[in-house]
Amino acid sequence: MCTQHLLKTKKRPSLAIIYLVAITLGILSGISNINALQSTGLIISDIFIKVFKCISLPIIALSIIVTLSQYSADKEMKRIWQRTLFYTLSTTILAASVAFVLYLIISPKNISALNQVINTATNESSKSNYFDYLANLIPANIFSPFLDHHVMGALFISMVIGIAIRYIPDVESRHIITNFFKGSHGIFLVITGWVVKIIPIALYGFITATIIQLKSGVDISGLAGYLAVVVLANVIQGLIVLPAFLSINNIKPFAAMKAMLPALTMAFFSKSSAGTLPVTMETAEKNLEISPKVSRFVLPLCTSINMNGCAAFIFTTVIYLMQNNGMEISIMTMLLWVFIATVAAIGNAGVPMGCFFLSASLLTSMNVPIVLLGLILPFYSIIDMIETALNVWSDSCVAKVIDTKNKAEIKR
């Protein structure tokens, strides 16, 4: 039985091979003059854009509600929970802010010569719709942000609901409503898992649509600037910002990094912070000497909501595609997206390929074309490795600081 299982496992093509086949077929369809193949690719691309648009806001909203509704009556655990949330928000905002500064410095160039008609139409509609989008932060009713795909309104409502649940006086009612949202969140995670399994089909569609644009004379040299922003944002966050965070709290940063190396290495190659969690907890307790009470509460929570790398990716990707599609990008717009990327990264809990998926969802919710994500996806595997290692490193830093403060208070 075990031998048969191993043989079946060996026969399964790896995800990399499946992606390579999808990319190859997309390129062939795009460069061919066969209308049926090109039309099929464009239809698939359009279908997946609609799928992203359909499930994007519910996933983000429910993740935020579930996260913010968590509560512990124990005073010590309540303090640990509050510090976890505060440090998570702080480090994630810093990660998005680093990406913001780098974007201003590097100023990635557009992937030029996109369809002029599409750009003009997007530019004209986005100027009016985007300001309406901001003006309607507080919706007229609780369902309108989800029906109108108004991201900021949905995030605002989700945060209010998540916090309000914690203050329901009746314990039984609080548990019932919390479980309802947890169950709803689970439903959408299952659906998202199904979508991710057929992502290679979406990749075929996106690549086909992108190649059709390339045949029109698109210059992709600007993509190097975009990739530089994403990678440098992760490196600076991991090697400068987080070590500074540890140093401020009287913790030797590079000694801590060395201690966490087994978990960071596994995170890098596995590309899964959740899968690395057992190693992260064991390494944190043995090498960083974090108490089990802290590590076994903080690290699982951080694995779900502390997404430094994801925030940097979402910010850079959304701004870059908005820029490429003719939308006016002001400093205020970018500052707003630092906040949105932070909240969306927290809403990434449990979503496979979360950063890429959420970026696509946020863009489609604003009717921004996402065919250029087909050019980014082949690079995403490497970006994901760096981001996962950064997320685990950030989780470890937050847990260590909280444990240090907790031990100091107990001694008093």
Q: Is 258 a member of any domain?
A: yes
Work out how many domains the chain is built from and give that number.
1
Residues linked to residue 219 through DSSP beta bridges, in sequence order:
112
Q: Per the domain annotation, does 195 fall within a domain?
A: yes
> CATH number, domain at 177?
1.10.3860
Parent domain of 254: 15-407
pLDDT < 50 stretches in the chain: 1-11, 114-130, 133, 350-351
What confidence score (pLDDT) does residue 119 get? 44
Q: CB under 8 Å to 336, separation ≥6 — which residues?
A: 134, 152
Helix 292-305 × helix 273-286 angle, to 10°: 150
* DSSP codes joined into one string, 194-225: HHHHTHHHHHHHHHHHHHHHHTTT-B-TTHHH
Q: List phi, psi (to 5°) of 210.
A: -70, -45
**Could you read off the pLDDT of 221-245 as tens digits, one per residue?**
678 899 999 999 999 999 999 999 9
In a domain, 9, yes or no: no
Q: Rounded CA gap, 121 and 26, in Å?
A: 26
Beta-carbon contacts of residue 264 (< 8 Å; ≥ 6 apart): 257, 389, 392, 393
Q: Identify the bridge partners of residue 403 per DSSP, sorted by sequence position.
A: none
pLDDT, tens digit, 9 for 90 and up, residues 282-291: 889 989 999 9
Question: Is 282 part of a structural domain of the chain?
Answer: yes
Burial of residue 228 (CB within 10 Å: 0-12, 13-18, 19+) is: middle
Measured CA to CA, the distance from residue 192 to residue 352 in angstroms comes to: 8
- Tabulate helix, strand, coil % of the chain (nearest 5): 80, 0, 20
For residue 331, the model assigns a pLDDT of: 92
What is the model's pLDDT at position 105? 95
Phi-psi region of 110 (alpha: psi -120 to 50; beta: other; left: phi over 0): beta
Pairwise CA distance, residues 39 & 19, whole Å? 21
**Per the domain annotation, does 412 fall within a domain?**
no
CA dist., res. 341 & res. 312, Å (int): 7
Task: Establish if 2 belongs to a structural domain.
Answer: no
| CA atoms of 193 and 177, how far apart (whole Å) | 24
Classify residue 185: in a domain, yes or no.
yes
Is residue 7 included in any domain, yes or no? Answer: no
- The letter for the amino acid at 352 is P
